[in-house]
Structures are given as C-alpha cells and as structure tokens.
A = this chain, B = another copy of it.
C-alpha cells in the first residue's frame, strides 16, 4: 500500500501519478512500460499515467504523488492508503480496436466506450484513436448511439414542460452573438428557454464569455431553476451542471488534433441539448467560403444528419442555413460583442443591422414553435418585442437575476488600426483569420481584447483608411495580433 501525497502539478487533461523509481516493492518501470496504472483504495479508483521520480525531495518511500487532476478525480484525502496495479486497458478499448479494423459498432459497445471516456479511463492517445477511427467511417446509427450515450453519462435537466425551446449555431462566424438577443425576445414572449452555453474553445468568444461581461454565468442547477421559474429563461455557462461530460473530454483531444467531423459535431451538439432538457431547437448552419460549412452539398449532408439524429432522440429541430460569408456585427471579443448586443436590444440607431436582422430571424423561428403563433408569425412577434423595448427589459431582468457584474469590463487600451492598403470596395472578410487575430490579441481570456470591424463587405474605403481596430489588454497581445494582421489582414478588396 502507498500513501497519497498531493502534488501541486497540473497535467491537464491527464491524470498523472508520481512514484519513486526505486520504491515500495513495486516494479515501477514495468508499470511505466504500459503507461497506465490503476490507483484504488478498494472503492474509489482512477487510472493515471505514471511518471517515475528519482528525486527524493519530491516523494518519500511509500508515497504516491498525485497531480491535481488525479487527486481531484480520486477524491481521497492526503495520507489515505491506496494500492496500485498495472491498469488493465478498459475492456471497451477492444471495441475501439474493432472500429479501427473497420467494424461497425453496436449501441451497447458505443455506450461502453463513451462511459469509459467520461470516467477518464482513456488516455488522450486512446481517445485520439477512437476519434480517428470514427473519422474514417461512422454509420448514422453509430452517430445516434454516440449522441445518446453522451447525453446519458452526465446530468439530465428536466424542466417539466412540454415546450422547452433552444437555439444553437454550429459556430465559426466571429461576432455572431445572437443568443443574447434571441433569449430575451423569447423570454419576453413567455416561452421557456433555459440556454446553457459553452465558453470559447477555438473562437475569440463564446456566448458564456460575452454574457459574463454583463452578469454572472457560473450558475448552479438550483440557481438556474430559480431564475427560469421567474424569468422563463437564463443565459448560463453549461459547465457547472455537468451536461454531457464526455463531450468535454472528447473536445480536449479533438482540439489539438483538429478533428472536426460532422458526426462528432452532431453528437456533441445534440447530446448537450438532450441533456439540457430541450424539446425544440432552431439550429443555425452558417454557410460561407471561410465558415465551418463551405459548400451547399456539405450543408445538405450536415442538415440531414442533424435531422435524422434529432428525430430519433425525440428532439423537434428546425434547421436554417444562413449567410456565413463574413463576421456578423462589428465587435469580436467579449466586451465588444456585449456592446453590440446591448445596442441592438436598446434599438440604438447605430446598432449593427446584420446582427439585429439575424437575431430577429432566429427568434422568429423559435417563436414559431409556439402553437399560438404557427404560420410564420414568429418574426413579426419578435420584431414587436424588440422594438417595444420588452426584450431589453427582459434582458435587464435576466442580468439582475443572474447577478450583474459589479464592475464594468473596460475595452483593451492597447490599440492598433489595420489600414486599407489600396482604395476600393471590401470584397471578402476571412472569418477564420479574424478569429485568430482576435484570439492572439487575448480574447476571450482578456475580456476587453478583440477586434472592432469598421467596414464590412461592400463598403467603399480609401487607401490608408482603418479597416478594423485591434484592442488588447497587454502590449504582448497587441504585438502578436498586429504581426498576424500584417501578414494577412483577412480583408480582401474586390475587383
């Protein structure tokens, strides 16, 4: 038996255990050759990657060091006694191997894999193997099984209502912060819309990051329930309520490997919706040359897959393929996007009209789910709720209910303007490039960092006129972003 010592070493996302090379009668090197050990006190258990320590300062004989992830997940106190053994690979890895060999998996086999992944029994390497095997070929039935299994392993919210609406965009378009306009419109109408959002993974801001500029988003399930009971809606970060935890683990591997298949996208989004208790979903698929979906054929293929899986899991889905040819709104990054959203809700004269129109369109489709409004009357109702200030009032109530931010986040004070190098009309704006520049400036970690787009596609600009403004909170961030913009600004002039 070994005694647990907590080591303040963060090896995200992996569990790591540390052992003296010469210690305790365990043949540490033989364990390490197999890379993984099982640490257990007979009840709690984790699998961990083993690092061998030759430095007696770090560990004493008879101790096993646990890094932060391992310590937290094992959830035993320091000093507790544990035994270790060579970790048998999770039995479900055999199914992964069959998938690698080209087999199609049964539902229960898919379930077993997803359960083990959610329980952190797979190493990133093993998760990568599963994802790559799935990227090779996945049947619709397998995608459905993954979706169901992912929704099943975490928490399931139940709002005890026949109509729980939701709206989701597959992402990829900077500034496209419509949820923060759609939710207050729908709440003002009176439908239940408990919106859980993610933080940005590869983009300069997620809805949770931007909403957090205005209010707390880090809400417990109880807090969410109380707010929804009163306001019909909420705009919360989904991380605290443990929806589809396997998805978070999968994403931690998909991101560095840049695996972004339609199957994974469908399973990821729909499993979260199922777990969040949504019954009716409007799904936005932006189509454009620098968006996630770049051809009409792909849009149709993705749409059919979403429809098939949604139908099988009992989710009513309304899919809209929208213009993803350039960023939406002006601001890119949390503070700048929050500014645009509030300008639209306040009906400011200079509010970005594309963001306003896109949000109204989506809100209208969501409201169309209301039996009382059938027949396409949703849009008119949405427009009325926005123009009358009722949506703004609903948003203010949501902010109060969630907890208004005590201080106002400032826009990054380090500023650089990117100038037009020639006179002409803006022909195209590269969504992917703009997102990368905004991220290098510091978004979303630095809430005030980002890009303020001064001209959009179609605008006539003079040589030397500013195309956009980069904001950063640090000189370093500004430097990174400026260098990337100097290489390629993401703007292309027409003709």
Contacts and interface: CB of A to CB of B under 8 A. Distances in A.
A55 B9 contact: yes
B125 A253 contact: yes
A239 to B, nearest CB: 15
A51 interface: yes
B8 A55 contact: yes
6 contacts: A8-B55, A9-B18, A25-B476, A35-B256, A132-B136, A133-B136
A8 B49 CA distance: 17
A27 B100 contact: no
A84 interface: no
A54 B125 contact: no
Given A89-B256, A132-B132, A256-B35, A55 B10 contact: no
A475 to B, nearest CB: 11
A12 B54 CA distance: 13
Interface string A1-44: 00000011111100010100100010101101011100000000
Contact of A30 (B129, B253, B445): B445
Contact of A52 (B9, B57, B136, B257): B9
Contacts of A257: 97, 125-126, 129
Contact of A125 (B10, B11, B97, B124): B124
Given A9-B18, A9-B55, 7 more contacts: A8-B53, A12-B32, A12-B52, A100-B259, A126-B128, A132-B133, A133-B136
A54 B256 contact: no
Contacts of A54: 8-10, 68
A97 B35 CA distance: 26
* Majority-rule SS of A interface residues: mixed
A58 interface: yes
A79 interface: no
B55 A67 contact: no
Contacts of A127: 125
A122 B128 CA distance: 13
B100 A136 contact: yes
In this complex, the interface size class of chain A, counting residues with CB under 8 Å from chain B, is 35 or more
Nearest to A25: B476
A136 B134 CA distance: 10
A136 B476 CA distance: 43
Nearest to A256: B35
Nearest to A127: B125
Contact of A100 (B12, B32, B124, B132): B132
B132 A128 contact: yes
A12 B10 CA distance: 18
A135 interface: yes
Contacts of A18: 9
Nearest to A446: B27
Interface in A238-270: 253, 256-259
A350 interface: no
Interface in A95-120: 97, 100-102
A259 B101 CA distance: 10
B124 A53 contact: no
B129 A55 contact: no
Contacts of A100: 132, 135-136, 259
Contact of A128 (B30, B55, B129): B129
A10 B32 contact: yes
B89 A135 contact: no
A262 B84 CA distance: 35
Nearest to A52: B10
A97 B53 contact: no
